[in-house]
Amino acid sequence: MMKKHTWLKFGTLIVTMLLGLVVFSATNVHADKKEPHYVITTDTTYAPFEFQAQNGQYVGIDMDMLRAIAKREHFTYKLVPIAFNSGAQGVLSGQFDAIIAGMTITPERQQVYDFGTPYYKTGIIAAASPKSGITSLNQLRGKTVALKTGTGSAQYALSIQKKYGFKVTYFNDSNTMYNAVALGNAAVAFEDDPVMKYAIKNGIKLKIITKPANAGQYGFAVKKGQNQELLAKFNAGYAAIKKDGTYDKIVAKYLGAKESTFAGSAKENNSLIGLLKQNKDQFIGGIIKTLQLTVFGIIFATIFGVLIGVLAVVPNKFAYGLSSTIIYIFRGLPLLVLAFFIYIGLPSLTGTKIPAIAAGLITLTLNEGAYIAAFVAGGLKSVDVGQMEAARSLGLPYRKAMLKVIMPQGIKLMIPSFVNQFIITLKDTSILSAIGIIELTQTGTVIISRNSQGFRVWFLVAMMYLIMITLLTFLAKWADKKFGNN
């Protein structure tokens, strides 16, 4: 029988592997630079304030303004694109130093954030599909309206919900919200005035049915009481670019601009081939990131899963209980919840920032590893018990019998399941877009936010996933044929 301390070594190895991912990825590569460096989050699906241009650069009023301020105030920053609500929570958890994402200054937010000098005045409007026949808020009773999670426009809509008697549904990005209304799945969308006007000008089939209301101002935000130096630099830089006219030039550049200014001709954007040509670098980058996450995720998950799976079959109550608990927890947690807990929840507890890629790999390791552990345990248990008895009768200790007799037979039975798990892991990487990893799904979201070609872009993304999964499916069938019946 294997000694108890051997299993403790296995447990230590697992913990060390996961902590190593965090520590290695969290290393500050800018430590040697003299200029202060910050991590700033934004929502890059909010044109004309922040979106991705054809060349992959993040542009818009907020993005250009931030670049100009950083240059004047001599600081550097890493920009982390993520859904607005997740970014706002990330600032409060300490994951990010600041957020610039068309964030409306409200009394509620001022309780937990410190805002810089307000830089843009806006109002909230409602827009409906021209086909719906809706022309006023009085027609919304009993209907569903679309809101973007965590935004000022959502708060405004909720404040008048009782008056007009509508129901609400939430979306994490603007373009999906717009299309829900355009397709008739929601009656109207509430959005900031300049953002909605930009979307309509660039192809979203909606019409504005209200005048701007609840006028507010956008602000650059940090966690209350934190990063005051950065806030002071923003205020000083904003005052400078406002005084010399740079800010006004930036606003004029984007307000009323057509999407083709940043993404090529409309004719090319309206064809599948044109979209591929225009965005080939972004698509390739998204595919590469997806494959990287898949490969490294399955490697770490396999190591983790095999160790936990072996613990489930050893004749040791502690080892079996530990394995069963780990499998139960990480198979039971939804992948998205686990990703948010690691990326946003843990920094709140530890005060240590966890880069998105590290959080993504840890999420895949724990979730996919739990499933691997389950079928590893099942594969080992499926080996005839007489095999172990025969090995022990020949004088082999339990450990050698497991390594040389049981595991080689069990692994043959597990090969097809490993390949199938590889396919599942590839699909699961799409969920990690929620924590700001620019894999293939998030790449599609970012492209759509710029050109509003939702159907065509998602068709291309679907085909790319289908091709990758088809190749892996052929591999699974080959593995099943070669090893499954042996």
| Least confident interval from 214-218, 230-234, 329-333 | 214-218
C-alpha dihedral (145, 150, 41, 435), degrees to nearest 10:
-80
pLDDT of residue 112: 96
Q: Is 39 helix (H, G, I), strand (E, B) or coil?
A: strand
pLDDT of residue 270: 57
Above 90 in pLDDT, residue 18?
Answer: no
Please give the distance of CA 395 from its chain centroid, rounded to a whole number: 53
Q: Find out whether 125 and 213 touch, Cβ atoms under 8 Å.
A: yes
- Tokens 């920094």 found at: 347
DSSP assignment of 124-190, as one string?
EEEEE-TTT---SGGG-TT-EEEEETT-HHHHHHHHTHHHHT-EEEEESSHHHHHHHHHTTSSSEEE
User: What stretch(es) of the chain map to CATH 3.40.190.10?
Assistant: 35-119+219-263, 121-215
What Å distances lie between residue 44 and 81, 90, 221, CA to CA? 6, 16, 16
pLDDT of residue 381: 73
Average pLDDT over residues 15-30: 49
pLDDT of residue 77: 96
CATH tag, 121-215: 3.40.190.10
**Confidence category of residue 485, pLDDT binned at 50, 70, 90:** low
Above 70 in pLDDT, residue 486?
Answer: no
Q: Find out whether 417 and 305 touch, Cβ atoms under 8 Å.
A: no
Give the dihedral sign, CA 381/385/390/395. positive
4-24+279-484 to CATH, choices 3.30.830.10, 3.40.50.720, 3.30.70.360, 1.10.3720.10: 1.10.3720.10
Tell me the backbone φ, ψ of residue 79, rounded to 5 degrees. Answer: -95, 125
pLDDT of residue 268: 47
State the number of CA atoms in the 13 A half-sphere of 106 facing the CB.
15
**Confidence category of residue 3, pLDDT binned at 50, 70, 90:** very low
d(CA 372, CA 420): 10
35-119+219-263 to CATH, choices 3.30.499.10, 3.90.190.20, 3.10.450.710, 3.40.190.10: 3.40.190.10
User: Does residue 48 have a cis peptide bond before it, meaning omega lies within 30 degrees of 0?
Assistant: yes
Q: Roughly what angle, to the nearest 10 degrees, separates helices 228-243 and 61-73?
A: 100
Q: Find out whether 182 and 134 touch, Cβ atoms under 8 Å.
A: no
Please give the distance of CA 229 from its chain centroid, rounded to a whole number: 29
Average pLDDT over residues 144-162: 93
**Confidence category of residue 37, pLDDT binned at 50, 70, 90:** very high
